[in-house]
Chain A
Amino acid sequence: MSKQSGRTKIDIADVLNLPLETKSQEEAKEKKLSSFTEGRLKVYDSNINNVDIFLKLLSERVNRQLASSMVGCVHCGMCAESCHYVLARPDDPTMTPAYKADKIRRIFKRHMDWTGRIFPWWVHADIPRDDEDLNRLKNIVFGTCSACRRCTMNCPMGVDTALLIRLARGILTELGIVPEGVFNVSRDTWETGNQMAVSEEDYLETLDWMKEELQEELEIPEIDIPVDKKYCDFMYTINPREIKFDPRSIADAAKIFHFAGERWTMPSWGWDQTNFGLFSGDDRLGGFVAKNLYEAAVNLRARRIVISECGHGYRSSRWEGYNWAEYDQNIPSESVVLTLMRYIQEGRIKVDPSKNQEPVTFHDSCNVARSGDLVDEPRWILERTCSDFREMSPNRKENFCCTGGSGLLSMAEYKPLRMEVAELKAEQLKATGAKLVCTICHNCVDGLTDVIKHYELDMKVVQIIELVANALVIDP
């Protein structure tokens, strides 16, 4: 698959020179938000030596894994073959993962490696000179990489470029040199405990509403969406977009849990399983969000945490969050996909594949498949709930990103480049001939919807909970 010639390409200089937007940062300062005054939310300050702080934080944060990714690259080019940015813009060397990583690597070499200190010209070692250089680095690490880790999977030396990208993002976040979209989400998360600033009142009201709708639809007055119920088999956690903009997925989940005879609850606090700390590289933010979730489960004496369909939320809550929060895991967490699979295996719910007739393909979310090892389970469910399931190619851990990963959905300024390199994804989707593309990630839902709209494909994005709810056989 290669880029077709003749289409207008974006001039990469336009992306690299995008200015630092500080409107939201100024507002946060003016309003004296507690997250700002208490030092959790970082804003840009042009009067301090940001380069020095960058270098200091770099030395503090380079651990063994990062160091091996810093020194391991032999510039073999395998990463280029696996990156959708490169495959869609083959004539642009700046898209190569090794090139992007080298922008960080050269600072490491100049500052921390003896070769770079003695022969900087020989080993291409260099440090950023000023805030403009740091801003350009921001545009590279936030704007030209979706941290999908497809290059990591295909690197013979085990170099984790996405880890280097996250390191640089995290340091820039400390300096307030960060895209406005990422800043806004970090602000809302610090201030309200969830990424969309949903108040507890609104959250509870929406859950009540969904409960009433379900009771009416199914004519079952005892169907419930319990909140803060203790000693349940699991605590269900969601992505804030479900509660704010599209709670149909919550109703679908509640419906399935009811028919499975589940004892479950949602927490009134600690319900946001998403985590922008993964995207911004801010481990403190990551730890704050993850800890809210883990502590909610402990307080409710839940036996398990179930995470609704969300790629980065799954990776953060299931895998990374324990490290960020420095929290010992004693309550297991799982994706709702595993919960659904168990229901079908144990005969707790019955499903009829003939209820989902349209051809459906499956898009593996990067954070779930490559970084979360949840690959066969969604397919096991799709084969039992859909009559025409077909794989896309490549698939599983070799699948291409929806193009909206790593928080790119919240950074509108990088959308033109994202849509250009999405050509690959569009071809991949189209080749399946499917009418539906299923994904177990809310971020991928929007990423894929953008691709479908931009490339005018005749497809719709669905999630597994919707397909299972649709295939449910309800005994009279």
Chain B
Amino acid sequence: MPELDVGGKTYELNEEGFMQKPDEWNEEVASALAKAEEGLDELTEDHWKVINYIRGYYLEKNLAPMVRKVCKNSGFSLKHIFELFPSGPAKGACKLAGLPKPDGCV
């Protein structure tokens, strides 16, 4: 099982790099995931806007939001979301927000 070390603590990831225990997520983990999984050295304010929205939606509904909701809430275009997260909303943004891997053909 792959792991992620952040500040002396070890977090379990699944084989696709998604968090095995989504409850353990915090901002440091998000930054470490960004570097390890998306090749992003730094998360900007725009990244956080998206990540925090997805995180909040997940905690409330136990589900990844539609990309429509992400765009509407952040005010970003779909193009900008793909610029921010090279692997896209599912494998990029949802992963950084500490969600488990979305189900289905993704």
| Residue ranges of A at the interface with B (Cβ–Cβ < 8 Å) | 181, 184-185, 188, 195-198, 202, 205-206, 209, 213, 239-241, 243-248, 274, 310, 409-410, 412-416, 442-443, 446, 449
A124 to chain B, nearest CB (A): 33
Closest 6 CB pairs of A and B: A415-B15, A184-B103, A206-B68, A412-B15, A245-B90, A412-B16
Are B66's CB and A198's CB within 8 A?
Answer: yes
Counting CB contacts under 8 A, is B98 at the interface?
no
Q: Complex Cα distance A248/B88, Å?
A: 12
Are B14's CB and A412's CB within 8 A?
Answer: yes
Interface pairs (25), CB distance under 8 Å:
A181-B103, A188-B103, A195-B103, A196-B104, A197-B103, A198-B66, A202-B66, A202-B68, A206-B68, A209-B68, A209-B71, A240-B105, A241-B104, A244-B67, A245-B102, A246-B67, A246-B88, A247-B67, A412-B14, A412-B15, A412-B16, A412-B101, A414-B15, A442-B105, A446-B106
Which B residue sits closest to A313, measured CB to CB? B105
Counting CB contacts under 8 A, is B63 at the interface?
yes
Q: Complex Cα distance A181/B14, Å?
A: 12
Q: Which of B39-73 contact A (CB under 8 A)?
A: 63-64, 66-69, 71-72
Are A410's CB and B105's CB within 8 A?
Answer: yes
How many B residues touch A, CB cutoff 8 Å?
Answer: 24
Counting CB contacts under 8 A, is B4 at the interface?
no
Q: Complex Cα distance A188/B18, Å?
A: 20
A167 to chain B, nearest CB (A): 23
A245-B90, A248-B78 known; A410+B103 contact, CB < 8 A: yes
Q: Complex Cα distance A181/B101, Å?
A: 9
Q: Complex Cα distance A202/B71, Å?
A: 13
Selected contact of B68 from candidates A205, A239, A413, CB within 8 Å: A205
Are B90's CB and A241's CB within 8 A?
Answer: yes
Q: Complex Cα distance A196/B105, Å?
A: 9
Which B residue sits closest to A187, measured CB to CB? B103
Selected contact of A243 from candidates B16, B66, B72, B103, CB within 8 Å: B66
A44 to chain B, nearest CB (A): 18
A210 to chain B, nearest CB (A): 9
List of B residues within 8 angstroms of A413 by Cβ: 14-15
Are A196's CB and B16's CB within 8 A?
Answer: no
List of B residues within 8 angstroms of A198 by Cβ: 66
Q: Complex Cα distance A205/B14, Å?
A: 32
Are B103's CB and A196's CB within 8 A?
Answer: yes
Q: Complex Cα distance A443/B104, Å?
A: 10
Which B residue sits closest to A180, measured CB to CB? B103
Which B residue sits closest to A411, measured CB to CB? B15
Q: Complex Cα distance A246/B79, Å?
A: 10
Q: Complex Cα distance A247/B66, Å?
A: 10
B96 to chain A, nearest CB (A): 14
Are B105's CB and A195's CB within 8 A?
Answer: yes
Q: Complex Cα distance A269/B94, Å?
A: 27
Are A188's CB and B104's CB within 8 A?
Answer: yes
Are B106's CB and A247's CB within 8 A?
Answer: no
Are A241's CB and B105's CB within 8 A?
Answer: yes
List of A residues within 8 angstroms of B69 by Cβ: 202
Q: Complex Cα distance A416/B15, Å?
A: 7
Q: Complex Cα distance A202/B70, Å?
A: 12
Interface hub of B88, B102, B104 (most chain A Cβ within 10 A): B104
List of B residues within 8 angstroms of A196 by Cβ: 102-104
Q: Complex Cα distance A195/B103, Å?
A: 8
Q: Knowing that A245-B102, A246-B67 are A-B contacts, what are 6 other residue pairs whose CB atoms are under 8 Å apart, sorted by A's residue number?
A: A181-B103, A197-B63, A241-B90, A248-B78, A409-B105, A412-B18
